[in-house]
């Protein structure tokens, strides 16, 4: 019976090995079917946008499109900057100092993704109780630094990765 047991073991091993190889192959075959839904090469290539800041007057907010989403570029007034910096962090649901949300030496420029962190609507500029943005969908108020102050949104408006190519132009992404 010893040989029979050895035969059974060898047979089981063969069955398990075959099944395992089959499972690995199936998993590998499924990956292209999933990955094809990720952003394709042409979409990834459009992931950065350059914006000229010279036409944006003080106190004005312009909206540019980046990765299919609106990005707000706010040329803030002295008053707006002071308002944002005077707010104690303790009053903020998502505490973050204004200095961390702008580039050093470019305090007047606030660049945020114009998508409400609640459920993705586009907030309206220069509205709401805090002189920043107000989201008409579910009533979230953002301040002049794009930080959430009141309403259901859980987080501040996102600051995208961007850099100053020169004093008057930025590259987002």
Partner 1 sequence: MRKLTVALALLATVVAAPVLAAEVGAKPDRQAWSFSGPFGMFDRAQLQRGLKVYREVCASCHGLKYIAFRNLVQPGGPGFSDAEARAIAAEYQITDGPDDTGEMFERPGRLSDHFPPPAPNEQALRSRFGGALPPDLSVITKARSYESGLAIGLLDFFRQYQEHGADYVYALLNGYEDPPADVEIDGAQAWNRYFPGNRIAMVPPLSDEQVEYTDGSPQTVDQYARDVAAFLAWTAEPHMEARKRIGFQVMIFLIVFAGLLYFTKKKVWADAHA
Partner 2 sequence: MSGHETFQPQNKALAWFERRLPVFGLLHSSFVAYPTPRNLNYWWTFGGILSVMLVVQLVTGIVLVMHFVPTSAGAFDSVEHIMRNVNYGWLLRYIHANGASMFFLAVYIHIFRGLYYGSYKDPREVLWILGVILFLLMMATAFMGYVLPWGQMSFWAATVITNLFSAIPLVGDAIVTWLWGGYSVDEPTLKRFFSLHYLLPFVIFGVVLLHVWALHVVGQNNPDGIDVKSNKDTVPFTPHATVKDSFGLICFFILFAWFVFYIPNYLGHPDNYIPANPLQTPPHIVPEWYFLPFYAILRAIPSKLGGVVAMFASIAVLVFVPWLDTSKVRSARYRPLYRQFFWILLIVCIGLGYLGAKPPEGGYVIAARLLTAYYFIHFLVILPLLGYIETPKPLPASISESVLKKHAGAPAAAGAVRSPERNG
Q: Is 35 in the site for partner 2 (CB under 8 A)?
A: yes
H or E segment at 84?
A: helix 78-86
Q: Which two tokens stand for residue 123?
A: 């907030």
Q: CB of residue 43 vs partner 2: minimum separation in angstroms?
A: 8
Q: CB of residue 67 vs partner 1: minimum separation in angstroms?
A: 12
Q: Which two tokens stand for residue 17?
A: 């090995």
Q: Is 68 in the site for partner 2 (CB under 8 A)?
A: no
Cβ atoms within 10 Å, residue 72: 22
Contacted by 21, from partner 2, partner 1, none: CB < 5 to 8 Å by type: partner 1
Q: CB of residue 2 vs partner 1: minimum separation in angstroms?
A: 19
Stretch that binds partner 1, among 17-25, 68-76, 144-152, 160-168 (CB under 8 A): 17-25
Contacted by 90, from partner 2, partner 1, none: CB < 5 to 8 Å by type: none
Q: Which two tokens stand for residue 13?
A: 């091993």
Residue number with CB closer to partner 1 (19 or 155): 19
Q: Is 42 in the site for partner 1 (CB under 8 A)?
A: yes
Does the annotation mark 75 as catalytic? no
Edge-to-edge strand ranges of the sheet holding 124-125: 124-125, 131-135, 140-143, 148-150
Q: Which residues contact 15 (CB under 8 A, 6 or more apart)?
A: none
| CA–CA separation, 53 and 47 (whole Å) | 19
Q: Which of residues 91-120 bind partner 1 (CB under 8 A)?
A: none
Catalytic residues: 138
């Amino acid at each position: 019976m010893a040989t029979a047991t050895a035969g059974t073991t060898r047979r089981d091993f063969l069955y398990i090995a075959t099944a395992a190889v089959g499972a690995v192959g199936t998993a590998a075959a499924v990956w292209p079917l999933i990955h094809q839904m990720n952003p394709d090469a042409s979409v990834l290539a459009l992931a950065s946008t350059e914006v000229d800041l010279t036409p944006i007057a003080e106190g004005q907010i312009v909206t540019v499109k980046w990765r299919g989403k609106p990005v707000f570029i706010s040329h803030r007034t002295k008053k707006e900057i002071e308002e944002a910096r005077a707010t104690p962090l303790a009053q903020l649901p998502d505490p973050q100092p204004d200095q961390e949300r702008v580039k050093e030496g470019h305090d007047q420029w606030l660049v945020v993704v114009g998508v409400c962190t609640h459920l993705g609507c586009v907030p309206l500029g220069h509205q709401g109780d805090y002189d920043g943005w107000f989201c008409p969908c579910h009533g979230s108020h953002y301040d002049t630094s794009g930080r959430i102050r009141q309403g259901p949104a859980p987080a501040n408006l996102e600051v995208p990765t961007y850099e100053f190519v020169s004093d008057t132009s930025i590259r987002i992404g």
